[in-house]
Amino acid sequence: MVEVRFYHLVRTTLERALPELLEKCVDRGWRAVVMAGSEERVEQLAHLLWTYHDRSFLPHGTRRDGEPDRQPIWLTDEDENPNGAKVLFAVDGAVSAHPDRFERICDLFDGNDPEALEAARGRWRAMKAAGHTLAYWQQDEAGRWREKQRTGPAAEA
């Protein structure tokens, strides 16, 4: 089963948290897919990954760039895994109909938006019912990620 991590954004925005989490993937040699809610959002995130830090960038590509098999990070608004990624980052409430294409799914949501929070709770229930291992991560006062809850087969072993 897939491990699904829910990241409850409280202290920082998606635009600040996503690059940090993607850096951890790249540092581990993992490929990632970022699935966003629209093509416009994909282009915004692509620009972000070039400019989020003045001394670094994250290597990535989009449909516009092509050659997904050469991209460590693939940004898309489609439910796909063309770069053989281990990790899916689902943003904007995006949901994959094929979670088994990945080893880990990271669902990032705005905890300050009541609608986004309720939608994330619905995704949690659906993934739990499907038998996946779930982890709930929330930011502490300093903005560091802390695991608050874990459930599913791996948590019970």
pLDDT band at 72 (very low <50, low <70, confident <90, very high): very high
What are the tens digits of pLDDT across the range 3-23?
A: 999 999 988 899 999 999 999
| pLDDT at residue number 154 | 57
| pLDDT at residue number 93 | 96
What are the tens digits of pLDDT across the range 51-63?
A: 888 877 899 999 9
What are the tens digits of pLDDT across the range 78-102?
A: 999 999 999 999 999 999 999 999 9
Query: pTM of the prediction?
Result: 0.94
Inter-residue long-range contacts of 22-29, CB under 8 Å, 24+ positions, other chains counted: 22/49, 22/58, 22/73, 22/89, 23/58, 25/73, 25/86, 25/87, 26/58, 26/59, 26/72, 26/73
